[in-house]
Structures are given as C-alpha cells and as structure tokens.
C-alpha cells in the first residue's frame, strides 16, 4: 500500500497550496518534452503527451522503445557509459526531425529523466564571455548590498530584456520586499512593495535551493501530462524536483495571470546556504530563455550571491566586533563581582547595552529586576515574564511582536513591542525590550485578502488585486538582527562559563579547607594518641603492681575491680595503637614491590599462633597465588586485619573454616578471604569500612578501625574492596590493587 501523501492531490487551492507536493506534479511545461527512461534497460517508460508537437513522434510510439531510437545511437551510448561510470550526465545537442534540441538528463531513483527542450538561438560565445567579464567587474566594485542589487537588476534586464526585473529580499518571517527594480518605463513601479510569505510557500523555497534557476516560458501554456502517471519501475510519481521542464503549480500560474504576467524567470539568491532572496523577472508575453543563457545566468547569480555573502559577512563581523568588546568587559566584571547579577546590572557597561533596546530585565531565581527607565512597572512585567518563561522552550526566544504572544495594553505594547530573552539556566533569564517602531508597509495588494473565490474554477484563488496597499504597523518593533542574536547567545555562553568557573573555584576552596581540616584532625589524633600512651602505661604499671603485691590485702570486689582496670587499659592500648597506625597511613609513602601473598599468609598464621589460639579453625590457602604489587608493610596489614576478623568472627561456630585464594576478574587478580562465621547484614556492607563502626557486640573484642585501615591502604593502591555476606552464612572479603 502506498501512502496517499506520496501522490499529487486532485484539488489544490489557496487553502492547501502550502502543502502542495509540487515536485511530483506529474505535468510538464509545453515548450519541451519530459521522457522517463528505466536506467537499466534504457527503455522509455513514461512520456509527456506533447511528444508529437516537440519531436514529431506520437507518445504511443515512444513508450517501450529503446531510447536510442529516439535520441540516436551516439547519445544513447554516452548515456549508458556515464551511467555505468556513475559520472554526471552532460547536456547534449541533438537534431530530431530537422529541429535542434538540447537534452538534459539526470537520475531520479531508478528513472532517468530526460528534459528535451528547444536549443534556441545561440549567441556568439566570445561576445557573451566579454559581456560576462564586464558584469563581474561591475559586481566587484559594489560595496553595499542595495547598490549591488540595483546593478544586478540592471544587468539582468540588459541581458534578457524582461519587462520587469526585481530583486526580492526575504525577512525573518519570509515576507518579501522588492529592494531593487529595473523595468520598462511605462510600467508602474513595485519598488519597496512587500509581499506576504504565503506568496512563495515553504516547499517552493525549498525547491529553489535544489534548482536555483527556473523559467516559465509561457504562463498561459496548457499543462502537459506525463503518462503513465506512476513510474512502472518504482510505482511512484516521478520526482521532478530537478527537471527544468517541471510543470508549474496551478495556484502560482493563477497568481501570475492575475498580475498579467506572460513569462517569468526566477533565480535564487543563496547566501551562506540560506535562501536570501530571489531575482524575479516578469515579461508580459511569452518568453523563452535557452539552456546556455540560463547556465550563464546561473554563474552570474552565483557570483552575485557570493559577493553578497561577503558584504553581509563583513557587516556581521563589524557589528560583532563591537558586541565582543562589550562582552569582554562584562566577563571581567562578572569575574570580579560577588554575584553575576551585580556585575550585569551595576555600573557601566550593563548587559542591556549589548543590544539596541529600551531596557531589559534580569530574572535570577526568585527575583526579577527591571533595568531602564522606559520599561513598564514591575508587577505587570513580572506577570509577562512568567508567561514568557512558560512558553520559552528553547534557550533563546525573540519576537518583534510580543502582542501576538500575550495580551498587552496599548500603552505597555508601545514600550515593549519587541522582546529577546535568553535562558542562562533553569530559572535565570536575561531579557531585552524594544519599543514600538511605527512604520508604514506598502504591500503589493492587501495581504489579508490573499484569497478570493474563483467562480469559474470553483475554488479558492490567490488575490486578484496587486495594487499598492499601505498598512500602518503598530505594536511591532525593529527586528532582531542575526548579529544581535549571536551576541545574546554569546553572552549566554559567557555567563554559563563563569557560573561553572565560580562553582569550580568554590569546590576547590572547599576541598582545600577540607584537606586542611583533615590534616589537622590527623595530627590531633596522632598527638592525642601519642600523649595518652605515657599516662596509660603509668596506670597499667600501677594496676599491675597493685595486683601482684597487694591483691591479698583486697577483698574479692577489690580484686575484681583491679582486673577490670587491667582489662580496660589493655583495650585502650589497642585502640590507641589502631588510631596511631590509621593516622600514619595517610602520611606514609608507598614503597611498591612484588610480594608473594602465600609467604605473607604463612607469616601471619605463625604470628597469630593460630594452632594454639584457634585450634578448631581449619584454614585452607590456595597454593601459588599470584604475586601482588604494593607496599609490603601495608599489604601485611591488610591481610593481618582481614585474617584477624575472619578468625575472630568465626571462632564461636561449630567447625570454623577459612578459605584464602584468588580469582581472575576482568584481567585483574582479585584476592579473597572467606569464613563461615556470623556474617554481616547487607545494609552494613559499606558501613563496616568506616572508622569506629562495629556491629558485633561485646562478645567480640575490637576497636572498629581495622577495616577502615584496610580500605584506606587499598585506596592508596588505587584498588577496591567489597564484601559478600549474609548473616549466619559467613563473609567473603574481596580486594584487588592496581
């Protein structure tokens, strides 16, 4: 099933012509013939119904015939060759039935489209070259766009002798204005007239980018249908976007007929890849411009477009130079000021100076500040701005007719007809306002009456009258120019950079302060623990003396208290030792070397005197574990802390077991120590690595620092440690070093 949108509609009138798929119109102009050839077999599969008029061969005799029978062997051979090499197809002059033609071929999907048109009168190439050189020299000396346009209009008329030549420029909304004109004296001037965007709909503008020069040789021609309507190869209508002979939209024909135009030539002016305007030539009777003339003209318009680009770019650069300077001053201010809004609105330059405006506003989080004496009272603007924020989907929003977005009193509208707003971040905006610019626009016909009902054709038609119609524009400001938009965008980026830089500096400062605080804390901890050791030794010594020499003088309770003191001093000693080694760990330099994990484990088992202290515990150590690279003392500490925990937290189980080994994971040697002890609930799997965090109750001695030390050592070696465990099912600690 084909999608109906792929077909040219039966009824096109002014109400749907903006969606008219003109590239598949299925008709050609009558001064030439369109043939469609299947590119593989080179057989004619579609033909214009005017084959007899043009070539003297009836269409029925053409369909299904090999193309060489129509265009001759030599051209057909060239076509086949070019198609095979996939090189571009060049125009070819031909004589058929005593008439001279030029054949222009191009590929469109599987179809090869041949435009066969009369060769026309050939000019002396030398004369033409001389004329062109003169034209190009003239173009070069023009420094501003209006003069350049006048010159091009003059040259075009000199070249082709159309009754009227206009240069038509689009505004941001695609309305057009005639900015240069050359005409037959007796004709009324259209210079300065405006035409609504609907006169040249979007899809026509798009086609101009693909096919920049187009003629209508006879506005009053009978459209020639191409049959069959659908290509037998693709099953779709022919895409005639690039055909020189493509038929014209009936609405456009009617539009030209309403103007009494008999023939036209339209050339696209493309500046920096965008349709800038058109050169529109009107003739009041039929007029054909041959292929070679059109090609030279294409060359000329390209030169014109690039000259225009140059002029426009220079203008843009000059303007940007000014705004860049101002932006730089604002950047310096923003860097120095306490807050960004202060820098943007206090002391010159303020941000509103960046663009020509009557004032502005800054919305910074909850606050809205108005700038400039000519902007309306704050409350009403606040409301307006709320509306604006709600509607603003992009980072930039601008209009020269704010009244078309929100309802404004006339008095307010005069002050803020135009608005440009940039969003810096979610709730931070800068706004510029522009006052009303009362202007009178002369339209070529009343643009509001773009539709009339055509009784004969039973459809809506383009307007009939093109008489000058003056309109006083109110509530409209001067439009926002390209360089102004880019300056505002630039400022937005500047502010974002500065916000990020300020945040980075703040984080950096905070980090420094944190590091200092940390260092102080470590020194304090180290000093404290160190200082506490001496009195603790004293307490312990006296308590031991008391126990050894005076225990017999004490009653049972006294003896119990001495034992408690001794027990507590022992715990305090362990705690101080742990804190000391924890603080030392930070300042210690890494001395990395290759170490045998098996050797370390054996040393630890011996040191802990496991056989005597944990006689029931079975320890299984994997043989020949990989070597590990790191600081030997630190790695010893990792294993002894982990081993200590594994022994301790499994000691009360019936048959304690500890397994030590390694696994290769993602190319890394991950070591593990697993026990079958009391285990750890999952919510504590991270917490146990923090200092002083203990889960096990009084039944298990400890200080809560062991794992914090292990983690810190591992991080120093750029490694990771994690635990897998469930309560009652033992714990497996895994780690790797880098």
Taking the least distance from each CB to ligand ADP, the nearer of 217 and 647 is: 647
Taking the least distance from each CB to ligand ADP, the nearer of 272 and 613 is: 613
Taking the least distance from each CB to ligand ADP, the nearer of 115 and 675 is: 675
Residue 615 beta carbon to ligand ADP: minimum distance, rounded to whole angstroms: 19
In what side-by-side order are the strands of the sheet with 396-399? 367-371, 359-364, 428-434, 418-425, 396-399
Chain residues in the site for ligand ADP (CB under 6 A): 641, 645-646, 649, 675, 677-680, 688, 693-696, 702-708, 731
* H or E, element range at 720: strand 720-725
> Is 523 strand, coil or helix?
helix
Residue 607 beta carbon to ligand ADP: minimum distance, rounded to whole angstroms: 17
> Is 726 strand, coil or helix?
coil
657 forms beta bridges with 618
How many other CB atoms are found less than 10 A from the CB of residue 418?
A: 23
Residue 668 beta carbon to ligand ADP: minimum distance, rounded to whole angstroms: 22
Residue 729 beta carbon to ligand ADP: minimum distance, rounded to whole angstroms: 10
Contact 175, 342 (CB under 8 A): no
How many other CB atoms are found less than 10 A from the CB of residue 547?
A: 15
Contact 473, 441 (CB under 8 A): yes
Residue 575 beta carbon to ligand ADP: minimum distance, rounded to whole angstroms: 9
Taking the least distance from each CB to ligand ADP, the nearer of 389 and 695 is: 695
Taking the least distance from each CB to ligand ADP, the nearer of 207 and 674 is: 674
* H or E, element range at 111: strand 111-118
Taking the least distance from each CB to ligand ADP, the nearer of 504 and 571 is: 571
Residue 640 beta carbon to ligand ADP: minimum distance, rounded to whole angstroms: 11
Per-residue CA distances from 702 to 229, 522, 674, 724 (Å): 92, 21, 19, 21
Whole-number Å distance between alpha carbons of 148 and 154 = 10
Residue 623 beta carbon to ligand ADP: minimum distance, rounded to whole angstroms: 23
Burial of 709 (0-12, 13-18, 19+ CB in 10 A): buried
Residue 726 beta carbon to ligand ADP: minimum distance, rounded to whole angstroms: 11
Q: Are strands 668-675 and 657-665 parallel, antiparallel or unpaired?
A: antiparallel
Taking the least distance from each CB to ligand ADP, the nearer of 262 and 679 is: 679
Whole-number Å distance between alpha carbons of 519 and 350 = 44
224 forms beta bridges with 28
Whole-number Å distance between alpha carbons of 43 and 114 = 12
Taking the least distance from each CB to ligand ADP, the nearer of 449 and 652 is: 652
Q: Is the peptide bond before 228 cis (omega within 30 degrees of 0)?
A: yes
Taking the least distance from each CB to ligand ADP, the nearer of 142 and 703 is: 703
Taking the least distance from each CB to ligand ADP, the nearer of 101 and 733 is: 733
Whole-number Å distance between alpha carbons of 577 and 529 = 8
Residue 707 beta carbon to ligand ADP: minimum distance, rounded to whole angstroms: 3
Taking the least distance from each CB to ligand ADP, the nearer of 432 and 649 is: 649
Q: Where are the beta strands (DSSP E) in 412-531?
A: 418-425, 428-434, 439-444, 451-454, 459-462, 468-473
Whole-number Å distance between alpha carbons of 708 and 195 = 78
In the block, residue with structure tokens 């009193």? 409
Taking the least distance from each CB to ligand ADP, the nearer of 159 and 735 is: 735
Residue 656 beta carbon to ligand ADP: minimum distance, rounded to whole angstroms: 11
Taking the least distance from each CB to ligand ADP, the nearer of 313 and 682 is: 682
Residue 711 beta carbon to ligand ADP: minimum distance, rounded to whole angstroms: 9
Residue number, nearest CB to ligand ADP:
702
> Is 37 strand, coil or helix?
strand
Per-residue CA distances from 307 to 166, 302, 357 (Å): 18, 9, 31
End-to-end CA distance of the chain: 62
Which tokens is 290 given? 């041959």
* H or E, element range at 146: helix 145-160
Whole-number Å distance between alpha carbons of 104 and 577 = 95
Taking the least distance from each CB to ligand ADP, the nearer of 120 and 704 is: 704
Residue 567 beta carbon to ligand ADP: minimum distance, rounded to whole angstroms: 16
Residue 614 beta carbon to ligand ADP: minimum distance, rounded to whole angstroms: 13
Residue 695 beta carbon to ligand ADP: minimum distance, rounded to whole angstroms: 3
Give the number of residues written for the chain: 738
Alpha-carbon 1 to chain mean position: 36
Burial of 395 (0-12, 13-18, 19+ CB in 10 A): middle
Residue 489 beta carbon to ligand ADP: minimum distance, rounded to whole angstroms: 55
Contact 673, 643 (CB under 8 A): yes
Taking the least distance from each CB to ligand ADP, the nearer of 337 and 695 is: 695
Taking the least distance from each CB to ligand ADP, the nearer of 270 and 647 is: 647
Residue 693 beta carbon to ligand ADP: minimum distance, rounded to whole angstroms: 6
Contact 692, 713 (CB under 8 A): no
Residues 6+ apart with CB under 8 A from 555: none
Residues 6+ apart with CB under 8 A from 440: 470, 471, 472, 473
């Amino acid at each position: 099933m084909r999608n109906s949108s792929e077909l040219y509609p039966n009824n096109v009138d002014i109400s749907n012509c903006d969606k008219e798929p003109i590239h598949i119109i299925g008709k050609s102009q009558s001064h030439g013939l369109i043939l469609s050839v299947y590119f593989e077999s080179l057989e004619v599969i579609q033909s214009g119904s005017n084959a007899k008029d043009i070539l003297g061969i009836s269409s029925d005799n053409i369909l299904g015939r090999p193309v060489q029978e129509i265009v001759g062997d030599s051209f057909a051979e060239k076509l086949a060759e070019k198609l095979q090499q996939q090189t571009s197809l060049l125009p070819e002059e031909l004589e058929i039935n005593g008439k001279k033609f030029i054949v222009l071929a191009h590929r469109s999907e599987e179809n090869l489209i041949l435009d066969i048109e009369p060769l026309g009168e050939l000019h002396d190439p030398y004369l033409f070259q001389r004329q062109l050189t003169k034209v190009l020299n003239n173009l070069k000396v023009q420094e501003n766009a209006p003069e350049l346009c006048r010159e091009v209009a003059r040259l075009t008329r000199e070249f082709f002798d159309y009754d009227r030549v206009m240069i038509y420029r689009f505004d941001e909304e695609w309305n057009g204005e005639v900015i240069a004109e050359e005409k037959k004296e007796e004709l009324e001037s259209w210079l300065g007239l405006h035409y609504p965007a609907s006169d040249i709909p979007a899809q026509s503008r798009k086609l101009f980018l693909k096919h920049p020069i187009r003629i209508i040789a006879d506005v009053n021609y009978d459209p020639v249908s191409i049959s069959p309507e659908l290509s037998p190869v693709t099953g779709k209508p022919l895409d005639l976007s690039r055909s020189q002979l493509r038929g014209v939209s009936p609405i456009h024909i009617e539009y030209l007929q309403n103007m009494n135009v008999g023939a036209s030539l339209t050339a696209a002016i493309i500046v920096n890849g965008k349709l800038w305007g058109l050169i529109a030539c009107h003739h009041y009777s039929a007029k054909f411009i041959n292929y070679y003339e059109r090609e030279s003209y294409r060359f000329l318009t390209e030169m014109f477009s690039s000259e225009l680009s140059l002029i426009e770019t220079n203008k843009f650069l000059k303007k940007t130079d000014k705004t860049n300077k101002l932006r730089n001053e604002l950047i310096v201010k923003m860097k120095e000021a306490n807050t960004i809004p202060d820098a943007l609105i206090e002391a010159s330059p303020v941000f509103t100076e960046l663009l020509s405006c009557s004032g502005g506003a800054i919305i910074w989080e909850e606050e809205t500040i108005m700038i400039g004496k000519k902007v309306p009272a704050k409350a009403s603007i606040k409301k307006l701005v709320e509306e604006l924020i709600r509607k603003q989907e992009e980072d930039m929003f601008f209009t020269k007719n704010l009244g078309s977005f929100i309802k404004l009193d006339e008095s307010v509208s005069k002050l803020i007809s135009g608005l440009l707003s940039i969003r810096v971040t979610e709730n931070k905006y800068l706004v510029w306002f522009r006052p009303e610019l009362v202007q009178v626009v002369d339209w070529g016909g009343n643009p509001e009456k773009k539709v009339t009902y055509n009784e004969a054709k039973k459809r809506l038609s383009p307007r009939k009258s093109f008489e000058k119609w003056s309109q006083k524009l109110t509530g409209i400001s001067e439009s926002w120019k390209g360089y102004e938009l880019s300056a505002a965008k630039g400022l937005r980026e500047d502010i974002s950079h500065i916000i990020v830089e300020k945040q980075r500096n703040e984080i950096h400062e905070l980090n420094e302060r944190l590091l200092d605080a940390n260092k102080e804390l470590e020194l304090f901890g180290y000093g404290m623990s160190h200082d506490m050791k001496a009195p603790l030794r004293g307490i312990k010594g006296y308590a031991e003396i008391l126990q050894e020499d005076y225990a017999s003088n004490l009653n049972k309770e006294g003896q119990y208290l001495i034992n408690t003191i001794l027990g507590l001093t022992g715990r305090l000693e362990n705690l101080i030792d742990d804190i000391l080694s924890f603080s030392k760990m930070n300042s210690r330099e890494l001395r990395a070397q290759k170490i045998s994990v098996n050797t370390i484990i054996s040393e630890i088992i011996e040191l802990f005197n496991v056989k005597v202290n944990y006689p029931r515990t079975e320890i299984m150590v994997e043989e020949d574990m990989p070597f590990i690279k790191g600081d030997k003392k630190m790695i010893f500490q990792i294993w002894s802390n982990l081993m200590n925990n594994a022994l301790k937290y499994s000691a009360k189980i019936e048959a304690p077991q500890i397994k030590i080994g390694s696994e290769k994971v993602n190319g890394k040697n991950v070591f593990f120590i697993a026990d079958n002890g009391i285990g750890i609930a999952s919510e504590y799997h991270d917490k146990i690595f923090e200092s002083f965090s203990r889960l096990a109750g009084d039944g298990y001695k400890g200080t809560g620092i062991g794992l914090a030390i292990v983690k810190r050592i591992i991080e120093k070696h750029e490694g990771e440690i994690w635990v897998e465990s469930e309560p009652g099912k033992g714990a497996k600690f895994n780690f790797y070093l880098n």
